[in-house]
Amino acid sequence: MKKKINQPLEGVNILDLTRVLAGPTSTQLLGDLGANIIKIERPESGDDSRNLGPPYLDSHSSKPMESAYFLSVNRNKHSVTIDLTKKDGQELAFKLIKKCDVIVENFRAGNLKQYGLDYTNVKKKNPKIIYCSITGFGQDGPYSKRGGYDYLVQAMGGIMSITGEKKGNPTKIGVGVSDIITGLYASNAILAALRFRDKTSKGQHLDLSLMDSQVSWLSYVAQSYLISKEIPKRIGNDHPSIVPYQTVLAKDGLMVLAIANDRQFRDFCKFAKIRELFDNPKFCTNSLRVKNRNSLNKIILKVLKEKKIDYWVSGLNKLNVPCGPINNIKQVFEDPQVNSRKMKIKMTHKKSEKPIDLVGNPIKFSLSKVKYKKSPPTLGQDTEKILINFLKLSKKEVNRLKDKKII
């Protein structure tokens, strides 16, 4: 009789040597899907992101370490402190590696070699290991030895050049999107490598970089350049190839109108009582609307200012014409759709008397489950548990490692 499996990655053990955002994004997603995530942190200081604040959950502590930043990407993980700079720490890491299916690390290219924890050395101990490296610029190429951060890569990878107002400066996106996208690509790569190993019994090295990921998700904007050789420019909240698909001003504030096809434009014109606009040969197709963007905007922006946002949103959505308000973050978490989809969850935490709010996982399975089993851990919260229960070390050996300040 087959063992019942409730989560897709149940039974997969992952050693997480990452910190800050890209790597932790990847491993949190895998943990949500059931993988056993063992997060290795430096004794005393831990993951750098623990101190990226305020705000902090433990703001009244003399040394706060539970930043909102850390809490956002570290649930469903066990925190184990190991000093990897010491020989005993490296030996302890290898004991964990022998029992793991995947390693995820985001040290600068080549830096783990000094500890004997590079892929070449690790695969000798565990030939089936899937070893995922996340760096700023990749394992090879002229920039491979450089440090890479999200902001830098947003700048170098082109997204800032097309973000912002037409006459303004290049602008970064409001979250570390290059980090987050790289984490998602890494998760996909790890899942594919696990599938490959199921078929071949072979592990492999996965090489992910923020720069590659950033270039990749330039998507149709990059492809437009490759086809036309015209350098894309900033156009604010407009869309380069769809009109009207933009921010518009209603009577009581800004909203978004996202008309993506001719049927939607026709129905918008009917509802706005400007049916003649759709019949106008300058505006009857999207290509023509893009060509005549400025003259079209003069007409529709004047009409939209006559009614409030609720009028447009309620009326146009009944006609399946996409539009909506521009919500701040408070409004996002008050939105009935967001709440019905359980995108805000509650979990208990060691440093809070009441459950804390966290952002939920967006994946909804019909059969298997996303589970929130463990809140983001305090530093070293699970060290003894993992060493004794997972590695089967004796209490005496654990105490020896403590005395030597290895853990």
Q: Which residues contact 175 (CB under 8 A, 6 or more apart)?
A: none
Q: Give the span between the Cα atoms of 248 and 255, in whole angstroms.
A: 6
- Residue labelled with tokens 């096809």: 261
DSSP codes joined into one string, 294-310:
HHHHHHHHHHHTTS-HH
30 touches 46 (CB < 8 A): no
Q: Give the span between the Cα atoms of 49 and 65, in whole angstroms.
A: 8
Q: Give the span between the Cα atoms of 327 and 337, in whole angstroms.
A: 13
368 touches 8 (CB < 8 A): yes
Catalytic residue, chosen from 179, 207, 212, 382, is: 179
φ and ψ at 225, to 5 degrees? -65, -45
Q: Which residues contact 276 (CB under 8 A, 6 or more apart)?
A: 269
Tokens of 223: 């492809």
| E strands in 244-394 | 245-250, 253-258, 323-325, 344-347, 356-359
Buried b or exposed e, range 350-382, using 16+ CB within 10 angstroms: ebeeeebebebbeeeeeeeebeeebbbbbbbbb
Residue 4 DSSP symbol: P
Instruction: Please report the sign of the dihedral spanned by the C-alpha atoms of residue 147, residue 150, residue 153, residue 155.
Output: negative
Helices (H), 244-292: 262-271, 275-279, 286-291
Q: Is 179 labeled as catalytic in the residue annotation?
A: yes
Tokens of 237: 């909240």
Looking at the annotation, which residues are catalytic? 179
